Amino acid sequence: MTHYRLVDDLSINGRWFLGELTSPQIEVDVWEYNSVGPVTVSDLPLFIEVAENGVALDLTFAAFDVLICNSKSAKMLKENEVQLLPVSIIGEQDTDYYVVIILNEVDCIDRESSDFTLFEENDSIRPDLAGEFSSFFVMVVNDDLLGNLDIVRVKGFNNTVIISERLKDSIVTLGLTGIKFESVSK
């Protein structure tokens, strides 16, 4: 099965851009929402402001690679692969949006076929990530390691979302807006 990296489609004219995840009563740790879940759910509401007004999207990334979907998109996601947390988008009439917490992280990078850099021990910004992926010029995954999962984050580079061809086909068939796909299979 072929796999794809899910990326924001920045080429959509007049699209919106979403800002940071917030809550009025607490400081939100954004890293909890863009890494592998599950997230402990509180009764406190979550909000995202629109950083740049425009056309609302079905599936997109907010600030800090937090994945957001509407109810139309949510229907195609498997309950055992994601946790959906209701979020209100400030100024948006449609209130059926969700933060998508991906529950699976897979060490799936084909290191021989990929071109990447690693954080070094003396890195001035993130020495705590020494030996982990810093950036990719070419990302290739080992499809066999992903099994039957439809959506995962990449272990060691979890701001990256990988989806199966099956999920990609569902997104295309439903005509969902906001994202595009980069093939990461050999």
pLDDT in tens, 23-52: 888 888 888 888 888 888 777 789 999 999
- Identify which of 14, 109, 28, 26 has the alpha carbon closest to the alpha carbon of residue 64: 28
Taking only the tens place, the pLDDT of each residue in 147-182 is: 999 999 999 898 899 999 999 999 999 999 999 999
Taking only the tens place, the pLDDT of each residue in 53-87 is: 999 999 999 999 999 999 999 999 999 999 999 99
What pLDDT was estimated at residue 95? 66
C-beta separation of 113 from 140 below 8 A? yes
Q: Give Cα 79 distance to the centre of its chain.
A: 16
Is the whole-model pTM more than 0.85? yes
Q: Where are the domains of the chain?
A: 3-106+143-183
Q: Between 143 and 39, whose confidence is greater?
A: 143
Sheet holding 105-106, edge to edge: 105-106, 151-154, 157-164, 3-8, 179-183
What pLDDT was estimated at residue 98? 95
C-beta separation of 97 from 56 below 8 A? no
DSSP SS3 for 33:
helix
